[in-house]
């Protein structure tokens, strides 16, 4: 396994709009090797998704996988609340995302390029993604709940957007403090506990 360095917030590559790949590029040894290394890097981190800009390559390429072992610490009730189920490994190239609902769900999420932190981010509950797979073949993914969140998070990276751009600012926390204080609380309770920005601080 050869893993890649994951760049962190502040690196200019995370703020660029990634370029599309051609079908010839997709089939090239360089891109096929990049996909394998991105998969291994994501699994080693561990994470549920990784976009090419996160390893310094401004390309419209993401890998996604949410295996059962990453859900082991969550109760059945928490999995149901998050609408989270296992997602097999797959590759999306040149993805186009369409929102298929007017409902947003707020939940804690982290980012491998914002290491050590979690934050509450509102995301659309249901989306559709049209893309190419690692063979250059068209694929369509329709997702809801946590999988829809992963898709939105990773595709944001291809547009130069990081989750902190969309977060509820007062919910930013270290992952240690998230586990210590907030992990078992419903999102509404967290937002109520933190309250709005004080008027004299705006």
Strand partners, 90: 64
154 is catalytic: yes
Cβ within 8 Å of residue 14, ≥6 positions away:
7, 53, 54, 113, 157, 160, 162
- Report the first-to-last Cα separation within the chain, whole angstroms: 48
DSSP collapsed to 3 states, 109-126? EECCCCCCEEEEEEEECE
Which of 65, 109, 134, 154 is catalytic? The answer is 154
Strand partners, 42: none
Helices and strands counted in the chain (H then E): 6, 8
Catalytic residue positions, numbered: 154
């Amino acid at each position: 396994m050869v893993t890649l360095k994951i760049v962190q917030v502040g690196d200019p590559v995370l703020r660029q709009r990634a370029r599309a790949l051609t079908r010839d590029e997709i089939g090239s040894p360089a891109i096929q090797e990049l996909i394998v290394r991105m998969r291994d890097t994501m699994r080693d981190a561990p994470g549920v998704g990784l976009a090419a800009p996160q390893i310094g390559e401004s390309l419209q390429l993401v890998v996604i996988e949410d295996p059962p072992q990453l859900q082991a610490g969550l109760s059945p009730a928490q999995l149901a609340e998050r609408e989270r189920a296992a997602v097999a490994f797959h590759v999306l190239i040149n993805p186009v995302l369409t929102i298929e609902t007017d409902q947003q769900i707020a939940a804690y999420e982290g980012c491998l390029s914002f290491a050590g932190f979690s934050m509450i981010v509102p995301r659309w509950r249901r989306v559709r993604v049209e893309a190419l797979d690692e063979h250059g073949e068209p694929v369509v993914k329709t997702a809801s709940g946590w999988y829809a969140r992963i898709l939105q998070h990773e595709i944001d990276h291809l547009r130069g957007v990081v989750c902190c751009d969309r977060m509820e600012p007062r919910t930013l926390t270290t992952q240690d403090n998230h586990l210590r204080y907030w992990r078992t609380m419903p999102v509404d309770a967290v937002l109520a506990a933190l309250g709005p920005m004080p008027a004299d601080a705006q």
